[in-house]
Structure 1
Amino acid sequence: MTQRTDDTGLPGAPDGPEPGGLSRRGLMRWTGAAGALGVAGAGLLPGLAGTAQAAGADTADASAASTSAKGGAAPAAGDTVFDPIRPPSVPLAVRSPYLSAWLPASTTAGTWPTFWTGHTVAMTGIAQIDGVPFLFLGAPNIDGQVLRGMAQRSLTTTATRSAFRFEAAGVELALTFLSPVEPGDLRRQSMPLSYLTAEVSSLDGAAHDVKLYFDISGEWAHGDTGTKIRWAQEQVPGAGSATVTSLSFTPDTPKELAENGDMASWGTVVWSATGRTGLTWQIGADTAVRPAALTDGRLGDSSDTRQPRAINDDWPVFAFHFDLGSVRRTAQRAVLSLGHVREPAVSYLGTPLPPLWRSYWPAWQQMAAFFHADADAAATRTAALDRKVRTEATAAGGPKYAALCALALRQAFGGTELVSRDGEPWAFLKEISSDGNVSTVDVTYPATPVFAWADPAYLGLLLAPLLEYAEHGGWPKQFAPHDLGSSYPNAAGHNDGNEEDMPVEESANMLLMTAAYLRGVDAATRKAFATAHYAILKQWSDYLVDNALDPGFQNQTDDFTGFIGHSANLALKGILALGAMSQVAAAAGNAADRTRYLGVAKDYIGQWVGKAQDTTPDHLKLAYDQPGTWSLKYNGYPDALLGLGLVPDSVAAEEAAWYLTQVNPFGIPLDVRHAYTKGDWEMWTAAWLRDHPVSGYLIDSLYEFVHTTPSRVPFSDWYDTVNDHQNGFQARPVVGGVFALLSLGR
């Protein structure tokens, strides 16, 4: 009987029957066979089962295995404390578009981690305490074993880490997934690697013999489990006398610069552990390696020779075993890392580009050794960033706002990656879960606040390839392009002009993002950048002079609502973009253009107020020709970010009051036509209207959606404000828009 994973691309989609019966994983999910391996046994721990708290009740935790046919029960979430939020899907290893692993539940025991699409990327964790095995991660099927589950006491989410705390048999286990975000440090930010640390200590004062087992499956390497993979083990020299043991695997016949189910079809999965006494490793079939660890108390330091073979052929796993010896109150630690390295990283107009990390290390082995040697320093740096996010976000919008920022940071940066183009750093962004485009302008735009707050220079790196393409790459149109390519990671451009045109939208977005970037850099950099790109920015501005005040029938960023004519919100964006161009002109030293574009913007905003005002009159319309309608004017945020002062205070106050008459239990709809909204735009609106009560409501309602939604997918930005469900989209970098309030205080 073979094991099969989710290849549907649907979050949490269970395996269906295969010819001849259920798969091994299907059996686990449908009959509770996995309950015989730990999910069922979790209920044996005193105090684990409890009444589900409103904040933690997980009606959608069925993916953790529902009630076992053998009588066991899945771990209850009631005893788990969530601080400061219960993520809909917990970020585990989130560093790039292809290293993006999540826990689609609240409890780790009995749940396989998944890629953002829902494709299983299995990871197993078992603790042996005084000879008794306890499951704390994953849903492995270990024939003949009934594993008890460790009691998960808490999950703490910060901007860079997800920290779980477990208890069993007098022992505490602290399990931390740390995905560093390194503002201002391109070398470290370029590493597509993530930490996993486990610290074990005695709770009862007694000495306990503790061993830890971890493995990952070949599913991390490809979206198709029928794909053949090959593997290797290496001892990589580390800092001083330390050694890093790396287990790596890759598709046997990689398809360079191609995807399967949004996962890379080329590249190498790197799974490493810092050397320490008692560390052993093994590569082999899951049915052989896991029982051996439990039976022998160690692994064989051996590699299965039957390779290459398919991921689903006896399911090869890559395992580490730590014999921590006798553990008392002083914690014993195991340090691992997980990464996905690819060369090339992307292509630009047909030219392959290397990842930026190759500018610092000759091969991934040296990078992995550096990453492990840097573990303590990285923990210190990221803890400081976590505190900065929490402190400043709490001051800007309260503790619920800080919780949203903590959940958003990794997801926003994890949708991007750094490459080298002729020795210069560039950043590319993937339009995750919607179109899959390369560096989509109207996806980069809503994410702008996180970069404006955390690392303005990074925003400049995201703008660089977009500007280069418009200036020298063959883009044929007067207005700005929508994206750099239809399918990540190939920035093939659209030199034939055939793309999803959003003329006012993307031209305005580019100008507003440029002004936001210039606001965050020093005077010399500001002048050099504005001067270098002045011609193309002026071209787009002149297009807006002709088209922004009353946009024709155009597409815009909320394209799921369809084309719209005379859009008041789109017009506002275009007008503010002309104000942004006045700042670009000032930075470039062009006083005449500064005066001209600012004058046009002031003239247009006056006309805009009259055209957009509803006849009631107590709010602004969705479109000039649609009386009795309304929409969130989230495009007011750049007026505050850039200090333009164009939108009258009276208009802001009127809109703020109106929105409070339109509230639903989980937010304010995007416009009058639907019950759904966009969380990023809600936070832009909250920032624009920060001095009005509606700002606090928007924060609280988005928090409630994230904290309680049964849609267990990575932070969705498109959801229903009535029923608390995801409407579409997940794991997108646009959640960087949550940082809109924070960006105003920079």
Structure 2
Amino acid sequence: MYTIVIFLTIFLGFASSQTIPAAIPLTVRSPYFNSWLPSTNGVSLNGKWPTFWNGRVLAWAGFVRVDGQTYQWFGRNNITTILNATTTSYHLTPTRSIFTVSAGPAQFNATFMDPIEPSDWVRHSLPFSYLFIDTLLTTDGNSHSIQFYSHSYALWVTGNADNVVQWDTTDTTSSIYHEASRLNKQPMAETGDFAEDSTAYYAMAKQSGLTWQTGFVDDLINQFATKGALADTKDTQFRPITNNNPTLGLAIDLGTTKELSNAVVWAIGVVRDPSIRTVASAGIESRSTYFWTRYQNISEAIDDFLLDFPNAYDRANALDTKIMIEASAVSPEYVKLVSLGLRQTMGSMEFTTGNAKNNASDIKVFMKDVGVSGRVNPVNTMYAALPALLYLNASMVPYLLGPLLDYQSTSAYTNTFAAPDLGTTYPTALGNNTNTILGAIENSASMLIMTFAHALKTGDATMADRYYNLLKQWADYLVTNTLHPSGYETDDDGLRYPDMSNLAVKGIIAISAMSKLAKALEKPNAEIDMYKNKAASLASEWEKLAVSTSGFVTSTYGDSSNWIMPYHLYSAKLIASDIISDTVFTNQQKYYETQIPQAGLYGLPYDSHNAQRVRSQWLMFTAGTIADKTTRDAFISMVHAHAFSNASDAPFPGMYNAQSGKTFSLSGPSSPVQGSMFALLALNLPNKFIELPLYKRARKGAIAGGVVGGVVLLVAIAALVLFWRRRRVREKAVRKKEDIMPYVGVGPSAPGGHESLQNYIGNTSFDNGEVRPFTDLPHPDVNPNAKGTIPPPPMSASTDLQTTLQGSSSKSPSRTAASGTPQPFSPSRSFLLTNSESWIGMHSRRGSTSSLNASSVAPGSSSAGQQELFVEVQQLRREMEELRARQGADEPPPMYRHLDTE
């Protein structure tokens, strides 16, 4: 486990200023659990406080005592007898920030790790992080007396340090943890971006040498410096944070040693319950974080989090390795950008379940527009973050889009275009029904593109089918308004000009996406062709209007004195749309080659109307549209130049000055838009064949079976009528003979007859004459009470999971206590196989289709009608089997087996 860390210590050395971001992520797990190390003046864990994304200090600290001398390796203090340790190197991965520290004769690595769990949403939603010490070495090779100590203030739980806080310490069967919160919480309220209803936790697993204490910060530090241990005592005087800084401390005595046998691990977290207040079909509901579906209380969650550390480390290392190896195929700078951008993207979201906490299939995801507006599920931000979500696990996307789609499907929403968000102030998500026509084209196009991108990367059309009418409404709006957008604005600082080229092409690409959705869902050909032809004609017109005689795309039609970075062309690449000709991409690349030498130090502006403003997300989208490696890498270098500079002190912001690098108001520090750093990796994801949702295919099979069954029934009736008529003829002949011959009797036929027609129709049941599909999956046409619940979709192939077909007797989704990953809804047998970890089980539940044979005809019968019926039914049966094979009616019903991630 520790070999990699030792190697990093030896290999990396001290990081140069060119590879140091303005702020290094420490813990970025939720909108309210977010901490960074300012590093504009170099990397040093000590001598400065970690801060929240907005710059507010978080008094979190760490100390080590070696042979009686105490050193501070993290944070600050005012005690003169404490010496400063030295940070000698650091290394950044997508899930970890690793620092090598020297304290006297001791050297060790201090690692801050945010577990990103794309295939286990219970673990991913648990808002805790690890701080751990490993790879302890002594420079002289001798053993030394060594103790470690760390503490945290209660600053996580309120934006006003004058508020009174309370705290406590709990001793469980396997851990010791502190907790702190406001004495009087304010539900769903923020002060200075901090939640006023949260509880902070600091914990360690029980072990020999563990001590704890709560109280005035200086008392705890002096206690540790003097004794090498804490006093195991509680301070019970609840007070404001500004009054003698109430502090939560945990220490461990390693004894006399020269190396570690096990890592020293602290767990830190910030929990809110409930976490979101949102609109639902039954009214307003409060929702809890998804991890509660597995744990009965917070003690269980903390114990499990600490016990799982070795496995969590291995999973984090595997994910880091995968991402960094794939990114290294692009460039070394690109590796650093994806490593820096992932945590703030994932840390902006909260995975939730119903307040009852007992329904693991009830999943909704909410994103905060961190660093910008604070809105809930901001469409423009989600659009920029989409590449990271698709790459990690595209199955997250419908749960993020779902709350928006569900709300806008109700009568409460009256606009004919898509809303920009689900509410203006996180964590209250009550919908946005205001007249937001200025962003109508941007938002409608974003929603269509994101919906189709999810379907394309997963092969699952469930969400698109459920909300098809709403998506169609938005597509129709774009058909009418996108080519000549007038009275609309872009997401970029509200630019508003008539005939903006980049805005128009985004709408055209969205119409193309709609045509592909309609085709995948087997809508009428006229409807498919209408969107396809309209997109093609609009694209052709757009190229004539938007492309200058010199070949570059102008900012507005016909004005070659201005230009635009048409970053929305990236979406055409992402959804495999050829609606925009290759010539546009080629000529635009040539134009970039002429502009790069003239660019500011930190990049090209996205629009010549705003020539001093750069947005990192659009630079990276643009890089994804460029075929030439040199030109593409120049755009990557532009983003890297600012991200790894001291031009600003903001945590990886999305917008800044092209020349100075200084940020603007609402520049987006710690913004989820940096999921755009995965734009190039997302383009490498395989496109799936999009299947109809299973309930639609099952219904089609049932209908096909019903039609064939009806034909069989009609033929059988006709044959029986023919048999009856011929039998009447024979009976008349017999009666004539009986008039001549004495009665000798005719014995009755032996029991025989024909197999039930149900066996020929297949796996279809009949109820009062109605043909029903195999299973009642939650879909409006099948279950009218299921509105707003998206069946759990399949995990994305990008998570490197494999689909297998194997036996199961279950008909419905199930969940085990071992994992909280939503049960995958299997849309098709054609789901791609990617590696050895299997997680979907399917099993065929076929009805009996025993064929008739000679014994099924009454023995001794010479009826020509029965023989003809037998032949006819056999022929129809063969034709029916062929029809079923062609139509997929023989697909088995969905079966589920849980993905065991334990």
Deviation at 1:527, TM superposition (A): 3.1
Query: For residues 473 and 373 of structure 1, do their structure 2 counterparts lie closer, same or farther at Cα, with a shift above 3 Å needed?
Result: farther
In the alignment of these two chains, the number of paired residues is: 654
Listed as ranges, the matches of 1:342-421 within 5 Å are 342-349=272-279, 350-395=284-329, 397-421=330-354
Q: Which residue among 193, 218, 222 is the counterpart of 2:128?
A: 193
Q: What does the per-residue CA deviation read over 1:336-373, in whole Å, with 9 as the maximum and x for residues that have no partner?
A: 11111111100012321111111111222211111111
Matching of residues 212-361 of structure 1 within 5 Å: 212-237=148-173, 243-307=174-238, 309-349=239-279, 350-361=284-295
- CA–CA separation in structure 2 for the residues paired with 1:221 and 1:359: 24
Aligned to 2:583: 650
Work out the percentage of aligned pairs sharing the same amino acid: 30
**Residue 396 (structure 2) aligns with:** 458
CA contact (8 A) 1:480 1:507 kept: yes
Preserved CA contact (<8 Å) 1:283 1:289? yes
When normalised by structure 2's length, the TM-score is 0.71
Partner AA of 1:214 in structure 2? S
2:352 alignment partner, SS class? strand
Distance 1:365 1:342 in 2: 15
TM-score scaled by length of structure 1: 0.85
Q: Distance in 2 between matches of 1:605 and 1:459?
A: 28
SS in 1 for 2:534: helix
Q: Following TM superposition, by how much is the alpha carbon of 1:157 offset from its aligned partner in structure 2, in angstroms?
A: 0.3
CA distance in structure 1 between the partners assigned to 2:383 and 2:462 by the alignment: 22
* Whole-angstrom CA distance in 2 between matches of 1:249 and 1:443: 33
1:641 paired to 2:571: no
| Amino acid corresponding to residue 450 of structure 2 in structure 1 | M
In the TM superposition, what whole-angstrom CA distance separates every residue of 1:708-743 from its partner, at most 9, and x where no partner exists? 133122111101221233332211000000100000
Deviation, structure 1 residue 331: 4.8
| Distance of 1:110 and 1:724 partners within structure 2 | 26
TM-superposed CA distance for 1:126, in Å, is 1.0
**Code of the aligned partner of 2:477:** Y
In the aligned structure 2, how far is the partner of 1:324 from the partner of 1:589? Answer: 66
CA apart distance, 1:475: 1.3
Q: Which residue of 2 aligns with 1:29?
A: none
Partner of 1:19: none
Match of 1:202 in 2: 138
Change (3 A) 1:330 1:186: closer
Asked if 1:502 is matched to 2:433, the reply is no
Aligned with 1:724 (options 661, 667, 673) = 661
The C-alpha deviation readout for 1:493-512, integer Å capped at 9, x for no partner, is 123x2557410000000000
State the Cα RMSD in Å.
1.7
Aligned to 2:612: 675
TM-aligned CA distance change 1:693 to 1:605, over 3 Å: farther
1:584 aligns with 2:514: no
Structure 2 unpaired stretches of 5+: 1-11, 686-902
Task: State which of 358, 361, 365 in structure 2 corresponds to 1:427.
Answer: 365
The one-letter amino acid paired with 2:73 is F
Q: What is the rounded CA distance, in whole Å, between the counterparts of 1:518 and 1:691 in structure 2?
A: 29
Matched residues in 2 for 1:258 and 1:82: separation? 42
Give the greater-gyration-radius structure (CA): 2
C-alpha distance in 2, partners of 1:591/1:377? 50
* Secondary structure, counterpart of 2:484 in structure 1: coil
1:151 maps onto 2:86 in alignment: yes
> Which structure 1 segments of 5+ residues have no match?
1-77, 238-242
After superposition, the C-alpha distances for 1:571-595 in whole angstroms (9 at most, x for unaligned) are 0100000111112112222152332
Map of 1:694 onto structure 2: 631
Please state whether the residue corresponding to 2:338 is helix, strand or coil.
helix
Amino acid across the alignment from 1:90: I
Measure, in 2, the Cα distance between the counterparts of 1:148 and 1:232.
Answer: 30
Distance 1:527 1:686 in 2: 29
Shift of 1:152: 1.0
Check conservation: 1:504, 1:570, Cα contact below 8 A.
yes
Q: Shift of residue 438 of structure 1?
A: 0.5
Q: Is the 8 A contact 1:84 1:157 kept in 2?
A: no
Residue of structure 1 equivalent to 2:537: 603
Equivalent residue of 1:115, what SS? coil
Q: Structure 2 vs 1, CA of residues 187 and 717 (structure 1 numbering), >3 Å: closer, same or farther?
A: same
2: CA distance, partners of 1:501 / 1:229: 44
Deviation at 1:148, TM superposition (A): 2.2
* One-letter amino acid of the structure 2 residue matched with residue 712 of structure 1: D
Q: CA 1:84–1:162 in structure 2 vs 1: closer, same or farther (change >3 Å)? A: farther
Work out whether 1:177 is the aligned partner of 2:112.
yes
Tell me which moved more, 670-679 or 734-743: 670-679
SS at 2:594's partner residue? coil
Aligned to 1:61: none
Conserved in 2, the CA contact under 8 Å of 1:157 and 1:406? yes
Aligned residue type for 1:194: S
3-state DSSP class of the match of 1:715?
Answer: coil
Cα distance in 1 for partners of 2:347, 2:27 equals: 9
